[in-house]
């Protein structure tokens, strides 16, 4: 995705961090790593799920930026070009990992035919995030891909409106809808039913503040709005808002027990992550330098890292029984190897084929 945005190489730094933070978080959780640092900089990885929120803000920016350029270039051809890019990038690896998970990580063949049909239908239509029995049934992180696909559809439908509407207004609508949705879901399920509360608040309406933050930035960049010293302003805001946002979280880390946290905290998080992404966009693009190519590469293959890491966890932690540092090293090694192989042998060739078709 970064190669489609040649002026924003720093985004790959954020992608790499987001993907790896999710991997470390899942190693901690699945491995029941009680001894992992509970204070200091590494404590960030105990809330590595924040990588998903960062991905949503990045997607809001990247998808809206790309969509607006395509729409303004040729509105009549927008739909075909937009969906070719989105589906070619997301769907092939999603399907590959989904069917490999079914083949090797589940007892799919022993499930009743109705259950098999339901799992396949919901996952193939990206509706599996709606129900508890399908939400995390196949390669658990896939629920976020359903949310992403819902967002892609929303952008495709609303791109004329996004094009003519001020970015701040789009973001304001996103925050308002997200908070209202999360409030309604919390009132419906509450802390007593944490699973349904989590699932329902994570649906697209509940993530519109994060996607909307990215759209706001995309509009600002596409429309050429830039002020003197903007990179350092965003950087300063990222530090301040990050300290405030995370201080509030750690003081109320039970989270689901506090309705006001469920309703409002993610909007504060969205603002913090917006500042981070905006700083990455406006600062000098350091990942273009040779010394940082490994980080750039990890960002390039971050989608594969995200989809493959639960396979590695199943093998290293549940099959081999490794724990703590050996488990982390084993999972990281296998995950990066799988992501690299799938990128070069599968994802990149398909993307290249799509580009040749476009030409």
What does the pLDDT read at residue 291? Answer: 74
| Per-residue pLDDT at 115 exceeds 50 | yes
In the numeric block, the tokens 């629920």 are attached to 143
Tell me the pLDDT band of 192, cut-offs 50, 70 and 90.
Answer: confident
pTM for this predicted structure: 0.94
pLDDT tens digits for range 36-67: 998 888 999 999 999 999 999 999 999 999 99
| Per-residue pLDDT at 247 exceeds 50 | yes
Q: Which of 17-21, 148-152, 317-321, 355-359 has the lowest mean pLDDT?
A: 355-359
What does the pLDDT read at residue 3? Answer: 40
Q: How many angstroms separate the CA atoms of 317 and 211, rounded?
A: 34
Locate the domains of the chain by residue range.
2-172+280-358
Tell me the pLDDT band of 284, cut-offs 50, 70 and 90.
Answer: confident
Q: Which of 91-100, 184-193, 206-215, 300-309 has the lowest mean pLDDT?
A: 184-193
| Per-residue pLDDT at 271 exceeds 90 | yes
> Which three-class secondary structure state does DSSP give residue 5?
coil
- The DSSP annotation for 151-172 comes to HHHHHHHHHHHHHHS-HHHHHH
Best CA proximity match to 142, nearest among 124, 115, 156, 154: 124
What does the pLDDT read at residue 7? Answer: 65
Two tokens, residue 24: 């470390």
What does the pLDDT read at residue 288? Answer: 61
What does the pLDDT read at residue 351? Answer: 83
CA angle 305, 194, 327 (to 5 degrees): 35
Question: Considering the chain, what is the average pLDDT of its residues?
Answer: 93
- Label residues 4-36 b or e (16+ Cβ within 10 Å = b): ebeebbbbbbbbbbbbbbbbbbbbbebbebeeb
| Per-residue pLDDT at 75 exceeds 90 | yes
Instruction: Output the CA torsion sign for 179, 128, 273, 278.
Output: negative
Which is higher by pLDDT, 280 or 285? Answer: 280
Which is higher by pLDDT, 153 or 283? Answer: 153
% of the chain residues with pLDDT over 90: 86
Q: How many angstroms separate the CA atoms of 329 and 331, rounded?
A: 6
What does the pLDDT read at residue 4? Answer: 43
Q: Which DSSP state fits 314?
A: I
pLDDT tens digits for range 300-358: 999 999 999 999 999 999 999 999 999 999 999 999 999 999 999 999 998 877 666 55
For residue 144, the surrounding DSSP H or E stretch is helix 142-164
What does the pLDDT read at residue 287? Answer: 65
What does the pLDDT read at residue 354? Answer: 66
In the numeric block, the tokens 């990066």 are attached to 336
């Amino acid at each position: 995705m970064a190669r489609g945005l040649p002026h924003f190489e720093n985004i790959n730094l954020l992608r790499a961090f987001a993907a790896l933070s999710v991997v470390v978080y899942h190693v901690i959780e699945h491995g029941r790593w009680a001894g992992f640092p509970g204070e200091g900089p590494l404590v960030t990885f105990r809330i590595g799920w924040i990588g998903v929120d960062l991905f949503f803000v990045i997607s809001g920016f990247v998808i809206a930026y790309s969509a607006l350029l395509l729409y303004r270039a040729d509105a009549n051809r927008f739909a075909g070009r937009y969906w070719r890019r989105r589906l070619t990038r997301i769907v092939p690896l999603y399907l590959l990992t989904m069917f490999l998970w079914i083949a090797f990580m589940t007892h799919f063949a022993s499930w009743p035919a109705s259950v098999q049909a339901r799992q396949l239908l919901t996952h193939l239509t990206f509706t599996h995030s709606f129900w508890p029995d399908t939400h995390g049934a196949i390669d658990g992180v896939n629920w976020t891909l359903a949310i992403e696909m819902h967002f892609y559809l929303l952008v495709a439908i609303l791109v004329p409106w996004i094009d003519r509407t001020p970015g701040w207004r789009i973001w304001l609508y996103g925050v308002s809808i997200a908070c209202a949705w999360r409030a309604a879901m919390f009132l419906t399920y509450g802390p007593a039913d944490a699973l349904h509360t989590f699932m329902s608040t994570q649906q697209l309406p509940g993530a519109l503040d994060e996607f909307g933050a990215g759209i706001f930035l995309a509009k600002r960049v596409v429309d050429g709005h830039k002020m003197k010293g903007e990179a350092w302003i965003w950087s300063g805001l990222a530090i301040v808002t990050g300290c405030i946002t995370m201080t509030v979280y750690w003081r109320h880390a039970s989270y689901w027990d506090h309705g006001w946290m469920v309703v409002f905290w993610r909007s504060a998080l969205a603002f913090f992550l917006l500042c981070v992404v905006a700083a990455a966009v406006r600062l000098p693009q350091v990942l273009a330098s040779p010394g940082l190519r490994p980080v750039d590469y990890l960002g390039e293959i971050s989608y594969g890292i995200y989809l493959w890491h639960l396979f590695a966890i199943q093998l290293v932690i549940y099959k081999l029984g490794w724990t703590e540092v050996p488990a982390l090293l084993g999972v990281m090694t296998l995950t990066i190897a799988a992501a690299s192989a799938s990128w070069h042998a599968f994802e990149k060739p398909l993307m290249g084929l799509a580009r040749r078709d476009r030409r």
